Structure 1
Amino acid sequence: MGAAALALLLLGCPGDDGRAGDTEPGSSGGVGTAGTTAVDGSEGLDTEGPDTETPPPPDCDPGEVACGSLCADLLSDPSNCGQCGRTCVIPHASAACEAGECALAGCDPGYSDCDDDIASGCENPIDCQEGQTCSTVCGSEGTVDCSNVCAAAGEPVCTPPVETCNVMDDDCNDTCDEGPLLGCRIGVHRSNSPTLGHFYTTDLAEAQSGDLNLEAQDYFFLYNPGVEGLQPLFRCIKPNGKRWLTSSTDCEGTAAPELTVGFISTDDRCGATPLYRLLNAGPDAHFYTVSAPERDNAVSNLGFVDQGIAGYVWLGA
């Protein structure tokens, strides 16, 4: 037997089971199996592809609709106004959605809407911020009103506040703390008697008690407690039982006050008028008046001495 025939015999013939050279389809040889599998894709690969199932729509509240994966109110959502995906964009302004239509919610700082055209937005470079605080011509704190800013050549209007009890003319009508402002000012009645002399009280019944004769009801007005910038006016008792008025907390070093009549001003703010203080040393009696002619008469003819101004009071409630 020749050498070639011997080599062929040792290697084996094609098709022998388990042999290295076996290329028979369906054989258990490693190379063929891998090749076959790679070509026909019948083993080891997912032939169905990625999951493309559409997720269910969101569960929306009444009045809302599903816009993709979100719920939206098409009547009020500026990002989905009237229909899904319709976004309201307004020049120099913030947008709103009203009844399914784009609307102007407010102008950006430095701009105003003078033509009422939503397409142009806030087209005018006028800075007016509606509702901001401002200082009025009478010194009170008002709010900015932009309703007439376009007609007013770009100047916003500072609207005064309503009148409050604070010794100021809040509403800029040249009248201070006009009423009715319940509990703001209190009337002081003036009486006179042979034993007590002139007597001042906020109690009308007291002003007519004993031998007191009422000379003037609500002769002047003071403020009730709680108003800044004022000081108390006390009523004090003399050793002879007569009363007098002062802002001194210790009755000018003599005793504790009988009571606080009200609150008085140290100047003529809010239309206040001077309360003149006089003393008749003989009977040791004080007298207070808001009338300069009455003061002068008391000094000239009745033996009183002018002691200056006790403070400033008001002639109306």
Structure 2
Amino acid sequence: MKFSNAHDSRSRTTPVLLAANPLHGLWPHSTPSHPFTFMPDRHGVTPVGRLTAHFLSDGRFRPPLVVVSELALAAALAETEACRERGVRLVVVPADSRNGVSAVLSSIIAGVREEPLVFVPGSLEIQPGRDATSQFHAAAQAASKSGKAVAFVRKARSSEREICLEAGDRHATGFRQASRALQPESDAGQVAAEMGALFALAGPVSICARRFLEIVGQVQPTLLQGCANALALGERTGSVIKPHNGYLSLFTGAGIAEIMAARPETVLLHPAGESMKVIRSWLDLPNEQAYAAGGLRQGKLDILRGATNIKANVSS
């Protein structure tokens, strides 16, 4: 089975919206069959719909690939009905897949060439007034020229539990080269965090398809082969691509952060500050944000924030 891109321009970036995660921290507002990424806000706009519209209106980008959980396919089909006619494609993965699997599949589908990709979490929230697509495009161009990944990062916090990257010297592109990957709770990680040199992923990562697949082939060759087999034995119905789950079920735990941390010398750090954040739990939502579909009320957020503050005070 052969997957090809309908566009010939190699100068354009392919956005990959990672919308598969049901976000357990937002349960029961976000469920496996109807995740937060497809929940409309009070204006009737979903996170994935908002991001998709941004990319479709910008000629520097190809139509997005949207990666969804098999359990959320019905919600994704309803949300993308109109934009699939404009080239948007859906890639269906097992419900418990992490973003590393989605990234490998998308890289193969997009084409094994020097095409820049930008992996964007479907629950990414961008500060109003920020021109995010221009930032994504600039990062993609830097990734193409340098042959490295460009990761949007923010300074690590003491509460970080995921892998973080330590900044080294400034690269020729103007971004800082990652020198090593650390767990922030380790002694070395704590020292680096206190010095302001430790950074956590803020969401998006841009890299050329060929380069990303080369790195995966070096650090997790079975993941690469499994995804290739899953696509070869999968099926495609119109704009919906369904890789074979029998292969993917063995690799659901792979994450982009772990893949890139295995080769920190291939990562450039793009400081995003607090202009971008990935919604993971109730406490990530701003007070004024009301999601009609889930019946979310400000009072519930206030109660949750209050309980968190009480717990923090008791712990200290």
Same fold (TM > 0.5)? no
User: TM-score category by the smaller chain?
Assistant: under 0.3
Q: Which has the higher contact order (CA 8 A, sep 6+)?
A: 2
| TM-score (norm. length: structure 2) | 0.21
Larger radius of gyration: 1
